Amino acid sequence: MSLSVDWIRHRFGKLASREASETNSETTPLLRSTAQKRNWIYPYNKHIVFPNNGLFIQDFKKFTSNYPGNKIRTTKYTLLSFLPKNLLEQFYRLANLYFLFLVILNWFPQMEVFHREITMLPLVIVLTVIAVKDGLEDCRRYSFDRKVNNARTRAFDWKHKDYVERCWKDVRVGDFVKVVCNEIIPADILLLHTSDVNGVCHIETANLDGETNLKQRRVVRGFLSPDSPFVPEHFNSTIVCEKPNNDLNRFKGYMENPDKKKIGFDRKSLLLRGCTVRNTEEAAGIVVYAGHESKAMLNNSGPRYKRSKLERRMNIDVFFCVGLLIIMCLIGALGHVIWLGSFPDWPPFEVPDENGKFTSPALAGFYMFFTMIILLQVLIPISLYVSIELVKVGQVFFLSSDIDFYDEEMDKLLQCRALNITEDLGQIQYIFSDKTGTLTENKMVFRRCTIGGTEFSHQENALRLAAHGDVDSDEEEAVGPQRGHRSRLQFNSKNKSTRAFRRCHSAKAYYYGGYGRKKSEARRDSEVAFSSPLETDVTPDKKLMKIAREAANQMEMWCEVRCSSDSASYVDFFLALAICNTVVVSTATEPRHRVTGPSLLKPSIKSLEKLHSFLQKMKPGRISQVLSSIQSNSDQTGGTNQISPSPSGTSVGEENVAGECSSSVSGGFKDSGVSSKASTDSGDYAEGVKVGDEICYEAESPDEAALVHAAKAYNFTLMSRTPDHVTVRLPQGVLLTFEVLHTLSFDSTRKRMSVLVRHPITREIIVYTKGADSAIMDLLENPSQEKGKENKITKNASKTLKHLNWYAKDGLRTLCIAKKVLSEKSYEQWSNIRLEAEAAIENRDELLMETALNLETNLTLLGATGIEDRLQEGVPDTIEALREAGIQIWVLTGDKQETAVNIAYSCKLLDQRDTVFTINTDSKETCESILDYTIEEVKRYAAVKNTRTKLFKVPVDDGTVYPLEGAGPTFGLVIDGNTLSLVFEGNLKMKFLELAKHCRSVLCCRSTPLQKSTVVKLVRDKLKVMTLSIGDGANDVNMIQAADVGIGISGQEGMQAVMASDFAISHFKHLKKLLLVHGHWCYTRLSNMIIYFFYKNVAYVNLLFWYQFFCGFSGASMIDYWLMIFFNLFFTSLPPIIFGIMDKDISAETLLGLPELYKSGQNSEGYKWSTFWIAMLDAFYQSLICFFVPYLTYQGSDIDIFSFGTPINTLALFTILLHLAIEIKTWTVVHWVTMIGSVIFYFIVAIVFSATCISCNHPSNPYWIMEREMADPVFYLVCIITPVLALLPRYLIRVIQGTFVLCPLLKARQFDKLDKEQRDEEISEWRERTRSREATVPLSNLSPPTSPTSPGNSGHPLGRTLTFEAPLNVDLGNDGTTPPGRSMLNGTVTENIYTSIPVSSADRTGDGGKKAEDDSDAFCAGHQRSFSIMTI
């Protein structure tokens, strides 16, 4: 211990000296004195705060002027900047610049086509509509800002020497601010005072990250003075901290006193703006960040903008339209030159310029090129972008209004945070999912445990959970989801009905607009996290209850002799469960307050005396009897009793201990005082928690809550917690108060947490540690030289490892519990280094990590726990449906491999017929060879569909890579985080992808957040596929942001994932309808609407283009300019928008019943090259019909130009709208109203315009044109015949498709025409035919894979397991043996035939259900254990 502490001190000294020699670090005083004058040096990378208390007036004014005030402004514009700034933003769009260019061109007389005002009209309308929308949005932001800035708080005024009310906007950096209970914090404040005697302030961060559980913040060290009030005038320190940043979990700095002494602080002393003070009467501190530099404002980025795949494809087609426009303009210009050259002399209509010169044909052709651009400008669909925005808003509205996404418990619907990628939901090819909280409920339930190598299966608890599940399912079927279901089995007749606990709300709550939430949200957020009866009611194991009680009764004897026994480990185990956490204990009364009674802060002498006298009353013979009983129980349980890994099994004998322990501890967080045995001692702690008071536990994670409730079930009840003390009530009712010396919080690097406490009786310094088995097992103490103790430690570790393996295979989350006793000298040395590390600013995190790693060594293993995290409802069905839809599902989790694999089988991610490859290795060469061999084997049995697949015997293009089903076995891949690191570092990415893309499912275990995001980016970028990531926790944020579509689940772990996501749902099962139904609809609607827009514009523009052949390519138009402009803006704009929002090609029931229909979106069948160009050809054909039928009809007549153009414009309207009518699949009232309304509106405008426009377009005027046309029968005949001829080919194609059912989508549409029973029957038959075609060929028909050492195949119908074990360098103990938990690998290949879920050799059984001979020591030191495995 001393050597490592000295090494850390040496390392810290080197860092400090190096920083001192280079820059002004924290070791260089910022305060320099010269002739009684302070010259402050402002470090560029530091944030200095001077207090505003009258002592530092000059410095305060100087530095505060460089910092922003607390006034916020989220608006984009002001009254003066709105018009220029908004126009500048809009002209960033190329389409707007294009039309601005056309407006400028039309102002040149040589190229003028329309009246200048007419050319400006479309652009002005679009700019005006967008400007009005932006202005309204900015007005709402302004109203919100005004409410926030005018909210009231109390700030210290050194002139009045008291706190005075101020608006939030008047608070400055350096001001002292006081907040009270339930008040929202106005700025980022460094906590200097709190009404709590222990210097603790509780805050709720729901406004920042959505987490409703309370978080503790502590007063800066040295400022705790519970007996005296905080006086800001006496504060004479300078604060130095880091520059403002948006990391909510990072903050560090120090205070520099006048004597140059520095006091360090971190994020645990920072109150963040927007948080709410809870369970604290008042708190005060100094503002360090204000306004837009506060962490809340730096994180306020709003919805993210993404560009969808369909939009990217559409932009390419827009460029094709630009190319088409250029070609048509070149044809027009060339035609004009040729036409002018056909005259022997200058044309009679050509007017010379002022000098009498005529324009040359070449220059006239140049002018005509730009004139044609102005005339055919509609070919570039400017209105398409606006229409897409409106359609997506409508789609988001219907998504957010779907009642099927409503979660009653959380009172939430689907949230859409990205408005631009709704159609991407219909094209997903890969899903990357977290496990905990995403596939599972993240409601941690204590299931079973092992202590000292003895396993306790808690069969009664398993029955409780099963009964609870039955009640849940029954109630859901009857009345839907309800909150707080109770189990049918009432284990305690005295149990009262649970009720939701509310946080205290004072009458003077400082809520204001924006931060104030809806009533339903406030009600929900006020409840205690992780408080459902499923999580809080734990039924103890009868035998363990008896052992724990007897062990607690003998505790003082063990403490006096200072020796540990087997029974002592039981007490330490439950004390660790109760102490090693950050759970806050509160009273369950309203208003609720944290338990901080004075009697609970220090161990009661009277209680200790009673404990001592109670123990002395026990006779020595009785103690010996108890000890022997416990020893025999331990031997019996660990030896003769066979522990079944099944939840239904039991590990202990069924002994009748009725009367000695209750069958359950119910009531959730509630505790109705003390037990009857301790009733005489209740007066000792009545000041802290009165008898009958109910308490509740507020934990930061569900794991902590589960362990505390497990300890409480065995009467090791956590009674109170303060920063310096924690009190636990023992089974006999006596209180023990431990002094908390240090708490080493959990982090993803160490994967554990520790707490240092001083034992109240022995005064020993004990380190209790809990964490992942992969982290704890490597830190266990080395066996001593004593042979007996060595065997005991090794046996304990090996048995615990075996139990952990069983827990993992049962799908339980495992945690190891360990302890360590420190000497006073070792603790003093470590504590000094720890304090220095806490006070550092540079490399602080690294130094704190080193001190933690140095302490957590040579641990003594106490036991392990198995916590059940049940699957969410509907997960297996959802995954099965998504896989049928052709979506590859990858699960990226940080859990143990065995746990993840078990969950994968439970949720149907892996199937028992799948061939699963499991790759775990620490060698790059081994990893590469395994990948090469596996790819070779996979390619023998799997053909990749690179070209085409067939559905209903019709070829369908498929650009993605999928394993060919029905031609061999289906594959799955399991890989751990260590192997993933080798893949990324060793340039094995492409080989990994080559293997993974042949697998139906991939399971990445022990993955870090960085590895998750790297995997997503790798698949997205290399395979060029559409990806979706879904998760619920902060560790999933990187993965969610890396995918094309990110989905957050608003669950038990806060709202970090939701805040980073594009869509937010409440349960994983909602993903099924979100993708298969709404995703399909959004993609189909938008793709059809975009194709229709291109068709509409090309068809209409071509009418003008064909006319140029008959007017000498002069750029003239046969349609009135106003009617031409209104045609796209009003007459044909609304129907396609409604079509894009409300059309349903297939019903939701059919889409859910036939998930394979989703593949049409994956293959981009709605919008691809062929679809676009077929629409273009159809537009050219229809334009030819619409132009030449009227031309031939009126040929030889004397009608004028507008009399010829008006029928063409009218029948073009009919043709375009009827074309849309053919494409509409579901007609509603809205469709009929918009279609008929557009026609009526056209005739009204045309009639009124022609009747009133006498001299609008001199010399050709449209006066009375429409009235004369409507009086001519030929007009009606042309308007009927022409659309029929134009639409006849498309209609016939649709009829043929519907008759012969050439694609699955058409077949599904026919199902919707049937009644419900017939439709369900047809869907069932379809699914049966699909399953029969996709039936996997039995492996008995396949030859065994080639392997140098592989034995022959036994031909089992389900498969076989090939285990490749690669040599691995393993750390050996001092005696050359393998330490517990490590493996010696021999490089052999074995084969195992299985009939169900693959299990390791440690779980195989022989004949008669007996275990294999080597099963008993499967985890003993030196035993050969598989490390790199492939299951084939």
Catalytic residue among 188, 209, 317, 434: 434
Pairwise CA distance, residues 985 & 1236, whole Å: 64
**Sheet of strand 152-157, all strands in order from the earlier edge strand to the far edge:** 162-167, 152-157, 176-180, 282-289, 188-194, 270-271
Question: Is the distance from CB of 1419 to CB of 805 less than 8 angstroms?
Answer: yes
DSSP assignment of 73-109: ---S--TTTHHHHHHHHHTTSHHHHHHHHHHHHHTSG
Pairwise CA distance, residues 1057 & 1038, whole Å: 9
Strand 752-758 versus strand 765-771 pairing type: antiparallel
Q: Which two tokens stand for residue 1319?
A: 């439709």
DSSP assignment of 46-66: -EEE--SSSSSHHHHHHHHTT
Pairwise CA distance, residues 417 & 396, whole Å: 9
Question: Is the distance from CB of 1432 to CB of 1342 less than 8 angstroms?
Answer: no
Given CA atoms 430, 431, 432, 435 in this order, what sign does their dihedral have?
Answer: negative
Active site residue 434: yes
Neighbours of 1316 (CB within 10 A): 8
Query: Which residue type does 517 have?
Result: R
Q: Which two tokens stand for residue 1356?
A: 């089992």
The burial class, CB within 10 Å (0-12 / 13-18 / 19+), for 1221 is middle
Pairwise CA distance, residues 588 & 604, whole Å: 24
Pairwise CA distance, residues 612 & 172, whole Å: 58
Neighbours of 791 (CB within 10 A): 11
User: If you count them, how many residues does the chain have?
Assistant: 1432
Question: Is the distance from CB of 136 to CB of 154 less than 8 angstroms?
Answer: no
Query: Which residue type does 395 have?
Result: Q
Pairwise CA distance, residues 1116 & 1104, whole Å: 8
Q: 């990628």: which residue's tokens?
A: 421
Pairwise CA distance, residues 1389 & 1386, whole Å: 9
Question: Is the distance from CB of 966 to CB of 1333 less than 8 angstroms?
Answer: yes
Within 8 A by CB and 6+ apart from 647, the residues are 447, 448, 457, 462, 810
Name residue 957's beta-bridge partners: 948
Q: What's the CA angle centered on 132, arms 127 and 137, to 5 degrees? A: 125
Within 8 A by CB and 6+ apart from 760, the residues are 603, 608, 736, 737, 738, 739
Pick from 719, 948, 742: which is nearest to 835 by CA?
Answer: 742
Using DSSP, state whether 449 is helix, strand or coil.
strand
> What H or E segment, with its residue span, contains residue 1047?
strand 1045-1049
Using DSSP, state whether 835 is helix, strand or coil.
helix
Name residue 820's beta-bridge partners: 767
> What H or E segment, with its residue span, contains residue 1390?
strand 1389-1393
Query: C-alpha distances in angstroms, 990 versus 923, 931, 935, 1141?
Result: 18, 10, 11, 41
Pairwise CA distance, residues 801 & 1039, whole Å: 32
Active-site annotation, residues: 434
